[in-house]
Amino acid sequence: MANARSAAKKHADEDIFEAAFSRVHSAAKRIGIHDEVLQALHYPRETLAANLLLRHDDGSLSSHKAWRCRYNDALGPTKGGIRFHAGSNMREVMALSLWMTMKCAVVDIPFGGAKGAVCVDRKALSDTELQRLAHAYVQAFRRMIGPERDIPAPDVNTDARVMAWMADEYGRCQGHPAPGVVTGKPVAIGGSEGRDGATGMGAHLVLRELAQRLDLSPGNTRVAILGFGKAGGALAGLLQEAGYRIVGLADSGGAITAKDGLNVAAVREDKRRHGSVADHAGKGIRKHASAETLVGCDCDLLVPAALQDQLNADNAGKVKARVVLEVANGPTTPAADAILAKAGVQVIPDILANAGGVTVSYFEWLQNRSGDRWTAAKVQSRLEEVMSQSARRVGDTALELDSPLREAAYAVALRRLEAAVLAVSPLCPEQVDVVGSD
């Protein structure tokens, strides 16, 4: 996805954080959120930067910038992933933590938003170097994170194994085990059943709830997915099982399309064996050097599932889909939003569509706190309940406001955040209910 990455960098230069906040501001003004609450939401509660020294296998040292941002904790301890990516920077981390704040609020789980990152080329690291980097991150931010304060999770280029290393190092620093300090861990050390693939499953549940409103039916819907990693890959399989026709898939190695549909399981196996979806071949399958080709794919549902800014002012006009399902964080720039709206394309926003991961992380955190272990069936049932109810609430709010789904999702989140802020704040004493006195 080289072209997509360069485009993302170009549009990120326009300030990804201010672009992210512009959506908060627009929705807040639309529904009359108190100005001082909105002002408080414009600034992260806490941002910390560090330089991590990494000892390589050959004995050399390298230094890597790292960040952790706790954006807002009005609803509870902050929650958000840690990514290892060469393009990361502080403004990106701030934007991602703002989105996490909105995401937790829209699905009504008791977390605030946070995010972390290390500026590093993950593919250049050996497994032992990766472990040292995970330990170094915990050592640098150990006073910021904690089971009751800030709970990291996997993100881009981090996984359950990295979370296991981080939990182990945090426990060593504290002098006692603390499995609840991170989520997304292996089940063997306190992880939750159902966490793998939870983001894709959550997106599927949201789509299922909103499909009728969007005039989509599985048997008549062609799908193209930009990104075939943890979330995009899981979603592709779920959609195919539900009867959707997957006509396009892409990853960093290129893209493939097929009018009659792709066999997701076969594509997954070829990617596992050879490294990319572009290594899959067969009758009627066309290969494309650039993943961005899929933006203009002849489909009904387009799913950006990689990094932010995949849909931007330069390519949004090429979109042929009627609906965009945002599985990545921030995949559509505000400029692209305007272009899509003018073309009549409906967007299921990221803060709703990809909230399945943090929801199951919440379930994992609950299990770590109580010492309970949930079955996969219980996790699935609870996830369906949360995602379906949240999608219905956003859909109903869109009708109430006569607004796009994105603005409706932000409205739902902001109303919950405002109530939490005002409940403990002297900003607006006239809005505090007096329940009685002794």
Is 115 a residue of the active site? yes
Tens digit of pLDDT for each residue in 223-240?
999 999 999 999 999 999
Domain co-membership, 269 together with 181: no
Region for 298 from its dihedrals, namely left if φ exceeds 0, alpha if ψ lies in -120 to 50, beta otherwise: beta
Residue 11 pLDDT class (50, 70, 90 cuts):
very low
| pLDDT for res 40 | 87
Instruction: Write down which residue in 132, 167, 189 finishes a domain.
Output: 189
| Percent of the chain's residues with pLDDT above 70 | 94
How far apart are the C-alpha atoms of 32 and 134, rounded to whole Å? 43
Q: Domain for residue 340, yes or no?
A: yes
- For residue 271, tell me if it sits in a domain: yes
- Res. 9: pLDDT tops 50: no
Q: How many angstroms separate the Cα of 242 from the Cα of each of 15, 205, 237, 246?
A: 39, 11, 9, 11
Question: Per-residue pLDDT tens for 151-194?
Answer: 999 999 999 999 999 999 999 999 999 999 999 999 999 999 99
Please say if the pLDDT value at position 59 is more than 70.
yes
**What is the residue whose two structure tokens read 């997957």?**
246
Residue-level pLDDT at 308? 87
Q: Would the pLDDT of 10 be above 60?
A: no
Q: Which pLDDT score, from 0 to 100, does residue 291 have?
A: 87
Count of C-beta atoms within a 10 Å radius of residue 287:
14
Same domain, 121 and 63: yes
Q: Domain check: are 346 and 280 in the same one?
A: yes
Same domain, 112 and 2: no
Q: Decide if pLDDT at 3 tops 70.
A: no
109 with 229, same domain?
Answer: no
> In this structure, are 246 and 293 located in the same domain?
yes
Token pair listed for 368:
């770590």
Between CA 102 and CA 154 the distance in angstroms is 18
Residue 430 pLDDT > 70 = no
Q: Are 384 and 405 members of one domain?
A: yes
How far apart CA 163 and CA 149 sit, in angstroms, is 17
Residue 412 and residue 342 share a domain? yes
Q: So what's the pLDDT on residue 307?
A: 83
Handedness of CA 258, 263, 264, 266 (dihedral sign): negative
Question: Are 227 and 278 spatial neighbours (Cβ–Cβ below 8 Å)?
Answer: no
User: Does residue 4 or residue 171 have the better pLDDT?
Assistant: 171
Point out the domain boundary residue: 171, 189, 207: 189
Could you tell me which residues come within 8 angstroms of residue 324 by beta carbon, excluding any fewer than 6 positions away? 301, 302, 303, 304, 311, 332, 340, 345, 346, 347, 348
Say what the pLDDT of residue 14 is.
Answer: 66
- pLDDT confidence of residue 328: 95
Q: With residue 54 as reference, give the H or E element that holds it.
A: strand 46-55
pLDDT digits (tens, 9 = 90+) for 84-135: 999 999 999 999 999 999 999 999 999 999 999 999 999 999 999 999 999 9
Q: Is residue 364 part of a domain?
A: no
| Sheet containing 150-154, strands listed edge to edge, beginning at the edge strand earlier in sequence | 46-55, 61-72, 112-118, 78-84, 150-154
pTM of the model: 0.92
- Has residue 428 got a pLDDT over 80? no
Residue 94 placed within a domain: yes
- Give residue 427's pLDDT: 59
Domain assignment present for residue 368? The answer is: no
Identify whether 411 is part of a domain.
yes
Same-domain check for residues 152 and 262: no
Domain count for the chain, please give it. 2
Query: What pLDDT is attached to residue 431?
Result: 46
> How confident is the model over 278-319, as pLDDT tens digits?
999 999 999 998 888 999 999 999 999 998 899 999 999 999
Residue 248 and residue 326 in one domain? yes
Residue 366 belongs to some domain of the structure = no
166: CATH = 3.40.50.10860
**Whether pLDDT at 433 is above 50:** no
Identify which of 285, 286, 346 has the alpha carbon closest to the alpha carbon of residue 321: 346
**Any idea what the CATH number is for the domain that residue 228 is in?**
3.40.50.720
Residue 65 sits in which domain range? 44-189
Q: Which of 189, 210, 241 is the last residue of a domain?
A: 189
User: What is the mean predicted confidence (pLDDT) over 397-407?
Assistant: 98
- Note whether 55 and 18 are same-domain residues: no
181 and 255 both lie in a single domain? no
Tell me if 199 sits within 8 A of 357, measured CB to CB: yes
Q: Share the mean pLDDT of the chain.
A: 93
Give the chain's largest Cα–Cα span.
78
Residue 435: pLDDT over 70: no
Residue 369: inside a domain: no
Alpha carbon distances (Å) from 410 to 57, 98, 138, 353, 385: 46, 11, 32, 13, 20
Across the range 68-84, mean pLDDT stands at 98
Of these residues, 115, 185, 230, 271, which one is catalytic?
115
